[in-house]
């Protein structure tokens, strides 16, 4: 059993928006909660879940209470969590009405043999586990003819938005965290309401293991944020871990993979990268990234940009 120095990193999204003082304070509180678990010898997995849980609860980020709405007006949320000792992982996608999708993801990991549950059955699974629900916000049910008309209208709206480039508003911020516990185990997680303009049913990188999230004690832990479509196409989280295995530092691994994302497909993203020896990097190829870290010394560091 190693005796690693605990460390936690958290993010509140990468994009065009500046970090507000309220969001910065909330990120710092989330780091304090996560670090307290690690300091008491708790597992990295639970530190990641609780850190993300506070951000979901706050309503200040695009996750949990603050999740974006898809073009039909419904909030659909995705989340994933993974631990690096046994490569266990759990995820949910397109869940509705959950305050804590990250906890639903952990329960998929711990209480089932599956990795990913999606849609209404995933929501029912979370309800069965008695997770907290948001006040009901779903539009009333329509007849199938009216649903078909509504779907056509939504698709038209989406195409018009793509043309007018209104999809580029790029609001903050999916949330995520990575942690290293005293036993030397790393964990990673992410939770999101998706992007600004998205068709109903759209799922991004966050619940896809290897894309938005990855954790392996033999390489490191990564939590991504940014345009999920690009992150999925280049399997970014696992790709950064593969660079770590080759002996690259977190800073070099993140820089090289994010550079590839931009140069190959003009993607945009930010990453938290943590290696099991405690080195870490926060990097983004977006103008801003809300993020921070804490190892128990002084105060948590939280900023809206990282060089």
262 neighbors 283 (Cβ within 8 angstroms): no
| Calpha distance 216→214 (Å, rounded) | 7
SS3 (DSSP) at 210: coil
CB-nearer residue toward ligand ASP: 37 or 80: 80
CB 117, min distance to ligand ASP, A = 17
CB-nearer residue toward ligand ASP: 228 or 304: 228
- For residue 268, state whether it binds ligand ASP (rule: CB under 6 A): no
Encoding tokens for residue 123?
């929501």
- For residue 13, state whether it binds ligand ASP (rule: CB under 6 A): yes
Which of 101, 189, 204, 250 contacts ligand ASP by CB under 6 A?
A: 204
- For residue 194, state whether it binds ligand ASP (rule: CB under 6 A): yes
| Calpha distance 251→253 (Å, rounded) | 6
CB-nearer residue toward ligand ASP: 31 or 227: 227
Phi, psi values for residue 130, rounded to 5°: 65, 40
Q: Which stretch binds ligand ASP (CB under 6 A): 24-32, 99-107, 199-207, 214-222?
A: 199-207
Angle 237-76-144 from CA coordinates, rounded to 5°:
135
Omega before residue 173 within 30° of 0, cis: yes
Catalytic residue list: 174
CB 76, min distance to ligand ASP, A = 10
Residues 221-250 that bind ligand ASP (CB under 6 A): 225-228
DSSP β-bridge partners for residue 213: 209, 223
Q: Which residues bind ligand ASP (CB under 6 A)?
A: 13, 173-174, 192, 194-195, 204-206, 225-228
């Amino acid at each position: 059993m190693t005796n690693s120095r605990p460390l936690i990193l958290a993010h509140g999204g990468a994009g065009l928006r500046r970090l507000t003082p309220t969001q910065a304070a909330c990120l710092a509180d989330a780091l304090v909660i996560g670090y307290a678990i690690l300091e008491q010898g708790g597992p990295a997995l639970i530190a990641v879940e609780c850190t993300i849980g506070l951000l979901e609860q706050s309503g200040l980020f695009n996750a949990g209470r603050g999740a974006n709405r898809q073009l039909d007006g419904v909030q659909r949320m995705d989340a994933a969590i993974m631990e690096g000792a046994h490569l266990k992982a759990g995820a949910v996608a397109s869940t509705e009405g959950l305050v804590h999708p990250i906890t639903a993801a952990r329960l998929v990991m711990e209480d089932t043999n599956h990795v990913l549950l999606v849609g209404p059955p995933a929501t029912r699974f979370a309800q069965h586990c008695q997770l907290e629900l948001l006040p009901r916000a779903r539009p009333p049910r329509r007849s199938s003819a009216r649903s078909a008309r509504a779907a056509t209208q939504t698709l038209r709206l989406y195409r018009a938005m793509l043309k007018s480039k209104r999809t580029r508003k790029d609001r903050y911020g999916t949330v995520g965290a990575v942690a290293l516990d005293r036993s030397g185990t790393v964990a990673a997680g992410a939770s999101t309401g998706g992007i600004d303009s998205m068709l109903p049913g759209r799922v991004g990188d966050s619940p896809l293991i290897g894309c938005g999230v990855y954790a392996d004690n033999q390489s490191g832990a990564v939590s991504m944020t940014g345009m999920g479509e690009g992150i999925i196409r280049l399997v970014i989280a696992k790709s950064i871990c593969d660079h770590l295995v080759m002996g690259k530092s977190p800073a070099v691994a993140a820089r090289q993979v994010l550079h590839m994302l931009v140069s190959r497909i003009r993607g945009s993203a930010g990453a938290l990268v943590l290696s099991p020896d405690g080195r870490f990097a926060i990097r983004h190829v977006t103008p801003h990234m809300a993020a921070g870290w804490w190892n128990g010394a002084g105060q948590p560091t939280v900023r809206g940009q990282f060089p």
